[in-house]
Amino acid sequence: MTDLRVTVDIVIFTIREASLQVLLVKRGVPPFEGHFALPGGFIRVQESIEAAALRELYEETAVRDLFLEQLYTFGDPHRDPRGRVITVAYYALIASDKSSVVAGADAAEAHWFHVEKIPNLAFDHNDILAYALERLRNKLEYTTVGFQLLPKKFTLSELQGVYEAILGKRLDKRNFRRKIALLGILKPLREWHRTGRKPAQLFRFAASHFEKLRDKGILFPF
């Protein structure tokens, strides 16, 4: 009865090089030594599950300001060869301007992987990752989670890039902009991003009071 332990594992997403990437760490000890795995660890007796996730997340990335949501709890009795371990999986979104911090964090070998190029992972972590990706794609369409992957100030093209990277398909620029405008959730700034050719206007997200677009009666079926 006491031989049942609980961990948290976290699928950490960010946008890098115009694509969706996930942070994985190389295991230094058995089981699955040398394989990559999701960051995670055991829950302490006195801490909440979310606190455990935030603690692991900070140890691994040195980032505190991020989006974190519980995903699913995986509990196959044979998922960990060491014994019965249930894991509560989370997924996190790190803004693209903060994902570089990660390098200087933990001693463990941590790398960003393109979501389409994930190696064989330890335990059932490939399943967890696949489920997180599915959840993220779904949530993108009816919530505003997408904004969590961008810096505070961003251009409309950057925003569209987030949607394209996650959904894995190209979107029509005019339709995308019309829909965003219709939502009325962006505040245009009097600042321009000048690094391409023609400067692009910067915006910031200004509707944290409703996470669900459904509340506004509008969905995001791109």
Task: Just list the catalytic residues.
Answer: 109
| Number of residues in contact with its own copies under rule CB under 8 A | 25
Residue whose pair of structure tokens reads 């594992």 in the numeric block = 9
Distance CA 24, CA 121 (A): 9
Closest CA to 161 of 173, 143, 174, 175: 173
Is residue 78 within the footprint of DNA (CB under 7 A)? no
Is residue 109 within the footprint of its own copies (CB under 8 A)? no
Question: What one-character DSSP code corresponds to residue 44?
Answer: P
Is residue 155 within the footprint of DNA (CB under 7 A)? yes
- Using the rule CB under 8 A, which residue among 18, 108, 206, 219 binds its own copies? 219
Residue 28 structure tokens: 């230094």
CB-wise, 118 or 200, nearer to DNA? Answer: 200
Question: What one-character DSSP code corresponds to residue 121?
Answer: B
- Least CB distance from residue 42 to its own copies, whole Å? 8
**Strand partners for 110:** 25
Residue 188 structure tokens: 């245009």
Distance CA 108, CA 118 (A): 18
Closest CA to 10 of 47, 44, 54, 48: 54
Is residue 172 within the footprint of DNA (CB under 7 A)? yes
Span of 25-33, 43-51, 143-151, 174-182 interacting with DNA by CB under 7 A? 174-182
Helices and strands in the chain: count of H runs, count of E runs: 4, 10
> Which of DNA, its own copies, none interacts with 200 (beta carbon under 5 to 8 A by kind)?
DNA
Is residue 170 within the footprint of DNA (CB under 7 A)? no
> Which of DNA, its own copies, none interacts with 43 (beta carbon under 5 to 8 A by kind)?
its own copies
Is residue 75 within the footprint of its own copies (CB under 8 A)? yes
- Using the rule CB under 7 A, which residue among 190, 194, 208, 209 binds DNA? 194
CB-wise, 103 or 181, nearer to DNA? Answer: 181
